Amino acid sequence: MKHTLQRQLRRLATERPYQIAAASAAVLVIATTAGTLAAGADDAPASQHTATTVAEMRSDTAASRSEARVAPPSANTAPTTAAPTTAAPATSAAPPAAKAKSDPDLTAKAAPKPPATKVLDYDYQVQNTYYNCGPAATRNALSAAGINRTQSQLGAELGTTEMGTNSALDTTRVLNAEVKGSPYQTRMFAGSPSPAQMDRLQADVVTAITDGRGVVANVAGDAVDTGGGWHSYGGGHYIAVVGYKDDGRTVRIADSANAAYPEYWMTTIDLANWIATRGYSA
């Protein structure tokens, strides 16, 4: 650098005076600037350079952050306007059983009350032999349900002989073989019926007649109907119950023994005592 300045001063010494002045000023500026640069390059501590660089970086970073804050949204990004959602606490659904209790369509409804009086439409037939009261009574009861069988057919199923039909167990068996669902049950009386058995007979008659089914009873001895008629079967007999009235306190009897007197009314208590030692199918 010093040798270069000396060559320039020698050249300027041969130039015109005004050129020398201008050149001297230029040389002075060049020398000053060069010296300053040289001094800055050689003498400035590394920490000053580092500080300047860090400051510039901080300035650039701050500028870029401020620009990011005001930068318009990208054309490909839709603005978000939905409010932040908060997850609602999970709630368990009501159990099916609770719904069934509150839903009127699923609530069990009480069975309708039976009518106070009901008499079935049946096809009466007198017994065709003196011992065929069992088949005849069974046939009369089945006719109320729309089932037509002959006394001979039913006699064979019942095991009826000249000695008659053995017991209500047989009539129950045959009735269930003919009626869908086997709804009949046998009630046997070992002796005189108790009040509970009388109530049971009344309830059984109402249930069967309400369902459209006749009842078959095995009776023995004497009984009087509500009209004063006297009926006596010392050796036993079968009759059909085809109706009731007064909520079952009185029953309608279809009796196959005498075509001249085919049916009559009797109190349920008298019928129960007439069944004593025997049984019935209802």
Considering only CA atoms, which of 109, 81, 138, 91 is closest in space to residue 254? Answer: 138
Who wins on pLDDT, 277 or 12?
A: 277
Integer CA distances (angstroms), 56 to 59, 62, 139, in order:
5, 10, 119
Read off the pLDDT of residues 9-25 as tens digits, 9 standing for 90 and up.
455 444 444 443 333 43
Angle, in degrees to the nearest 10, between helices 133-143 and 151-158? 120
Parse the chain into domains and list their residue ranges: 1-43, 118-281
Task: Of 53-57, 158-162, 207-211, 227-231, give the lowest mean pLDDT range.
Answer: 53-57
Q: Could you tell me which residue, 190 or 14, shows the higher pLDDT?
A: 190
Of 111, 116, 139, 261, which is closest to residue 202 (Cα–Cα)? 116
Model pLDDT for residues 26-62, shown as the tens digit of each residue: 333 333 443 433 344 344 443 343 333 333 333 443 3
Q: Give the tens place of pLDDT for each residue, 158-180.
A: 999 999 999 999 999 999 999 99
Specify the pLDDT at position 10.
56
The pair of three-digit structure tokens given for residue 51, joined into one six-digit string: 């500080």
Average pLDDT, the chain: 77
pTM above 0.85, yes or no: no
- State residue 226's pLDDT score: 98
- Contact of 255 with 246, CB cutoff 8 Å: no
What's the pLDDT at 46?
37
Query: Is residue 199 predicted with pLDDT exceeding 50?
Result: yes
Q: Which amino acid would we find at residue 66?
A: S
Q: According to the model, what pLDDT value does residue 96 have? A: 52
- Residue 148's nearest CA partner among 184, 119, 179 is 179
Name which of 226, 220, 229, 231 is nearest 276 in CA terms: 220
User: What are the tokens at 151?
Assistant: 């006394």
Report the CATH superfamily, name and number, of domain 118-281.
Cysteine proteinases (3.90.70.10)
DSSP string, 65-124: HHHHHHPPPPTTSPPP-PPPP-PPPP-PPPPHHHHHHH-TTTSPPPPPPPPS-EE-----
Whether 141 shows a pLDDT value over 70: the answer reads yes
The answer to whether residues 199 and 185 touch, using CB atoms and an 8 Å cutoff, is no
Question: Among 171, 177, 183, which residue's Cα sits nearest to residue 219?
Answer: 171
Q: Is residue 136 scored above 60 in pLDDT?
A: yes
Instruction: Write out pLDDT tens, residues 80-125.
Output: 444 444 444 444 455 555 444 545 555 667 878 999 999 999 999 9
**Cα angle at 274 between 273 and 277, to 5 degrees?**
80
pLDDT digits (tens, 9 = 90+) for 239-270: 999 999 999 999 999 999 999 999 999 999 99
